[in-house]
């Protein structure tokens, strides 16, 4: 995954979103609180220059950061 500025947790969050998990399910699965998840989602959007979380997932899929 050359050129990816996302960290492992951010990629895992994107994968869970692509798999259809909601934010509550993701926080429970990863053992993080909601504010941590919200901060990570903002970071992901900034790194990928995405307009929304859905857009970030689409970018990550297109760049093959997730499947």
The SS3 of residue 44 is helix
Show the tokens assigned to 14: 């994107």
Show the tokens assigned to 5: 């500025």
Residue 1's pLDDT is: 56
- d(Cα 25, Cα 6) in Å, to the nearest integer? 21
Q: Can you give the pTM of this predicted structure?
A: 0.93
Q: Are 67 and 8 in contact (CB under 8 A)?
A: no
pLDDT digits (tens, 9 = 90+) for 31-64: 999 999 999 999 999 999 999 999 999 999 999 9
Question: Integer distance in angstroms from the first to the last C-alpha of the chain?
Answer: 12
pLDDT digits (tens, 9 = 90+) for 7-33: 999 999 999 999 999 999 999 999 999
Domain boundaries, the chain: 8-62
pLDDT at 2 over 60: no
CATH class of 8-62: mainly alpha
């Amino acid at each position: 995954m050359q050129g990816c500025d996302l960290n492992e947790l951010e990629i895992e969050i994107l994968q869970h979103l692509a798999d259809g998990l909601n934010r509550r399910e993701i926080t429970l699965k990863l053992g993080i609180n909601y504010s941590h998840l919200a901060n990570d989602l903002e970071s992901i959007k900034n790194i990928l220059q995405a307009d929304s979380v859905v857009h970030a997932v689409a970018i990550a899929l297109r760049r093959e950061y997730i499947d």
